[in-house]
């Protein structure tokens, strides 16, 4: 153990031992386990800074550390930890911190203080061997004792998993998830097939699983490693919107990603693995007789969904409806006269078409009357006696659709009755929707699987109207369904292009159409008396951009009559960087929702507190919240170790171990904003986002603003966005399947 003299610590180059109590965490990464903490050691006058990777570390833990002393140029002496063991806390203060650190559900700081005050240094032995004696402590009922006992036993089992995984760089959060998933079989599962983690547990991908596998001694040329790598690569491609990868590209990518420690997979080996995966049904390879097409590699679900979706659309198109068009046109004339409105020729054509077509697509930019045209079609369907359903991919879009038509609209997941137990929709081929006609708004957000599930649930004799702006970003999920349906030239499509007079007064709408045509938009400089709803502030650097956003939110936005906490959404092209959403969220949280005594908070990688706006990052079918849903933290219970988030009036509860499913959302990416609208949108654009700056990205971000949009950044970055057309082709074959005879 290191010795101490006065207040100085000698620097060493050989391993020493240090024992002490963790006083507080300065920094802890849930992903890597990298930690900077302050340790109280016996005989040391001041707290000691320790630095290292810890699978599980909490204030109050007593640790025996091995490592070396180093002198940091800015932070002084630090103990660099190479390994550690946890021992029982030896002091009352240590016991209080240990029990109240969030380690055991049901015991927070207050309860921990009462327990330790009653049992003293025997506390842990009492919990381990005589837990019913906790009833002696004021305020602890039998129900709480049972909860503590369950949590204590789970912690013992988890600790075994933690110890096993500690040397493999797996964080506390993921270790808890592994235990939740596999229970007592966790260690066996990880040992026998570590790649199963990438399939079963959100947040653990192939790279992490591969590190664990390698450290467990799995050879780099293991067939199971190659198989898992190929599945991972196709999964990554799906995250980029692809439904398949051409065989040569899959093999090239696999060679790059699976090369490690001078071992490079051969093309022949990978080709053989792919053939085996095809035989076993893990992979579906579509081959072509003509030479121009290489074989295409699909995950089976992607191929079957794409093929079946095309088949269902073609079957509906082959079965048009016989209607009396004269009666339809007479109804339109009476309806427009009674409402004292006038349809454009394009809108008129869309309404007539919707009377007889099984599937109709209505597309167009902002201000071109999609909403009013949809309202008229719904009114026509009502007059024809049809049973109508309305839906959209997101809750906010469904709410807008409902307000516009006066009919209840649901999210597509609600419409199809998602069952969290089976992770499937109840509605489908065997349990069809009871509808004659259905409207789907924000159809550009439909990915392959959601579109396939939707078509399966719609009766063959029902009508479908897809409404969406095809010039927006494509779906976050795989495919580009709306684009492929339109480009196939097989479906009736009406594109609204005429901007109505009232909408033409909006600077946002004018700018959006200019951008869509490839022209630089007219933007007014920010002032306290703006004449336009589309403004610009030319902060020259990213650092100035962050400062400008803060000044807008703090000073300008309130004076224009908006509430920064509820009305403003910052949308950035990227996650990383100075004006990426990670940094912006930290800055905006401190500005809009700073810490205070009346707001509970929790730190897991980053800090979240009551009243923070958060976004769901993954589809969580058990809780009924989906990727992109925005909510507000309404309660943090550090005793129960739960965080409650309110989504559209509905409370959803998260365990602390599941907090990586949500993230701060004072700033979000433009991709995540699809289907939503906000009163005020602020969009930072800088050339450091070069790869992301595209016309449809800027167009999508700008059209999220209902009342005010402010672009922040140099004109060069805005011009680059306008010029740069998204040229990355998504690998899909829905269009080809629709045109195939």
List residues forming the annotated binding site. 367-371
Annotated binding site for ATP, which residues? 367-371
The closest alpha carbon to 652, from 323, 395, 433, 313, belongs to: 395
Q: Can you name the residues that pair with 465 across neighbouring β-strands?
A: 360, 439
For residues 570 and 585, the answer to whether their CB atoms sit within 8 Å is no
Radius of gyration of the chain (CA): 29
For the packed helices 267-280 and 223-239, what is the interaxial angle rounded to 10 degrees?
80
Encoded tokens for 672: 């995540």
Encoded tokens for 450: 């959601």
Exposure string over 50-89, b if 16+ CB within 10 A, otherwise e = bbbbbbbbbbbbbbebebbbeeeeeeeebbebeebebeeb
- Locate tokens 């909408």: which residue? 503
Neighbouring CB atoms inside 10 A of 470's CB total 20
- Locate tokens 């979706």: which residue? 309
Strand stretches in 538-580, DSSP E = 568-572
Quote the CA–CA distance of 737 and 723 in Å, as a whole number: 32
According to DSSP H, which parts of 140-222 are helical? Answer: 142-166, 172-182, 186-192, 196-200, 206-215
Phi, psi of 206 (to 5 degrees): -60, -40
Q: Can you name the residues that pair with 37 across neighbouring β-strands?
A: 25, 50
End-to-end CA, the chain? 80
Encoded tokens for 442: 């924000």
DSSP state of 541: S
Distance of CA 429 to the CA centre of its chain: 30
Encoded tokens for 430: 């065997």
Encoded tokens for 321: 């409806």
Quote the CA–CA distance of 149 and 127 in Å, as a whole number: 8
Collect all residues with Cβ–Cβ distance below 8 Å to 279 and sequence separation of at least 6: none
Neighbouring CB atoms inside 10 A of 421's CB total 7
∠366-371-375 over CA atoms, to 5°? 170
- Torsion (CA) 236, 237, 240, 245 in degrees, nearest 10: 170
Quote the CA–CA distance of 656 and 637 in Å, as a whole number: 10
Collect all residues with Cβ–Cβ distance below 8 Å to 118 and sequence separation of at least 6: 136, 137
For residues 650 and 548, the answer to whether their CB atoms sit within 8 Å is no
Neighbouring CB atoms inside 10 A of 40's CB total 18
Exposure string over 380-414, b if 16+ CB within 10 A, otherwise e = bbeebebebbbbbbbbbbbebbbebbeeebbbbbe
């Amino acid at each position: 153990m290191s010795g101490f003299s006065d207040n100085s610590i000698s620097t060493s180059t050989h391993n020493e031992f240090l024992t002490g109590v963790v006083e507080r965490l300065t920094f802890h990464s849930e992903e890597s386990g990298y930690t900077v903490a302050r340790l109280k050691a016996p005989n040391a006058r001041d707290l000691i800074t320790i630095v290292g990777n810890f699978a599980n570390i909490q204030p109050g833990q007593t640790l025996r550390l091995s490592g070396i002393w180093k002198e940091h140029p800015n932070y002084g002496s630090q103990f660099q930890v190479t390994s550690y063991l946890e021992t029982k806390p030896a002091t009352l203060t240590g016991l209080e911190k240990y029990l109240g650190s969030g380690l055991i559900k049901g015991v927070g700081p207050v309860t921990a203080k009462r327990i330790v005050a009653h049992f003293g240094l025997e506390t842990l032995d009492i919990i381990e061997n005589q837990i019913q004696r906790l009833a002696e402590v004021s305020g602890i009922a039998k129900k709480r004792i049972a909860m503590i006992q369950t949590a204590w036993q789970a912690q013992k089992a988890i600790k075994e998993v933690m110890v096993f995984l500690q040397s493999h760089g797996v964080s506390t959060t993921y270790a808890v998830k592994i235990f939740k998933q596999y229970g007592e079989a966790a260690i066996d599962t990880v040992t026998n097939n570590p790649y199963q983690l990438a399939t079963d547990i959100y947040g653990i991908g192939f790279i992490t699983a591969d590190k664990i596998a390698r450290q467990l001694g799995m050879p780099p040329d293991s067939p199971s490693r190659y198989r898992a790598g190929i599945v991972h690569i196709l999964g990554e491609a799906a995250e980029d919107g692809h439904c398949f990868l051409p065989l040569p590209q899959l093999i090239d990518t696999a060679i790059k990603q699976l090369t490690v420690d001078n071992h490079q997979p051969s093309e022949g080996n990978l080709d053989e693995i792919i053939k085996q995966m095809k035989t076993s049904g893990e992979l579906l390879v579509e081959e072509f007789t003509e030479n121009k097409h290489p074989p295409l590699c699909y995950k089976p679900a992607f191929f079957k969904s794409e093929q079946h979706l095309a088949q269902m659309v073609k079957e509906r198109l082959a079965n048009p409806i016989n209607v009396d068009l004269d009666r339809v046109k007479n109804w339109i004339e009476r309806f427009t006269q009674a409402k004292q409105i006038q349809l454009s020729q394009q809108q008129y054509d869309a309404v007539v078409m919707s009377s007889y077509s099984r599937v109709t697509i209505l597309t167009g930019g902002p201000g071109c009357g999609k909403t009013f045209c949809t309202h008229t079609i719904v009114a026509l369907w009502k007059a024809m006696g049809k049973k109508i359903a309305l839906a959209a991919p997101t809750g906010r879009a469904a709410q807008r659709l409902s307000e516009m038509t006066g009919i209840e609209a649901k999210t597509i997941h609600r419409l199809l009755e998602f069952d969290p137990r089976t992770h499937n929709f109840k509605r489908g081929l065997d349990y069809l929707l009871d509808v004659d006609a259905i409207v789907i708004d924000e159809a550009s957000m439909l990915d392959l699987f959601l579109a396939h599930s939707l078509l399966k649930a719609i009766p063959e004799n029902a009508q479908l109207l897809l409404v969406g702006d095809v010039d927006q970003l494509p779906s976050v999920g795989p495919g580009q369904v709306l684009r492929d349906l339109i480009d196939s030239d097989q479906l009736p499509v009406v594109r609204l292009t005429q901007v109505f007079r009232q909408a033409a007064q909006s600077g946002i709408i004018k700018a959006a159409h200019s951008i869509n045509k490839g022209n630089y938009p007219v933007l007014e400089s920010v002032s306290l008396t703006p004449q336009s709803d589309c403004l610009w502030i030319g902060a020259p650097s990213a650092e100035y951009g962050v400062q400008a956003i803060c000044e807008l939110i703090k000073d300008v936005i309130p004076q224009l009559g908006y509430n920064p906490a509820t009305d403003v959404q910052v949308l950035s092209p990227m996650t990383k960087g100075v004006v990426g959403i990670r940094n912006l969220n930290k800055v905006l949280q401190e500005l809009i929702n700073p810490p205070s005594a009346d707001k509970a908070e929790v730190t897991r990688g980053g800090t979240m507190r009551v009243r923070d706006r958060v976004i769901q990052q993954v589809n969580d079918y058990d809780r009924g919240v989906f990727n992109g849903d925005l909510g507000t933290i309404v309660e943090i219970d550090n005793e129960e170790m739960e965080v409650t988030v309110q989504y559209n009036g509905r409370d959803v509860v998260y365990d602390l171990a599941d907090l990586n499913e949500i993230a701060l959302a004072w700033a979000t990416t433009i991709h995540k904003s699809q289907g939503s609208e906000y009163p005020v949108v602020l969009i930072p654009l800088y050339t450091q986002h070069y790869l992301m700056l595209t016309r449809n990205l800027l167009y999508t971000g700008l059209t999220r603003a209902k009342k005010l949009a402010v672009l922040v950044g140099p004109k060069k970055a805005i011009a680059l966005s306008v010029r740069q057309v998204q040229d990355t082709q998504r690998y899909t074959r829905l269009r080809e399947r629709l045109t195939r005879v």
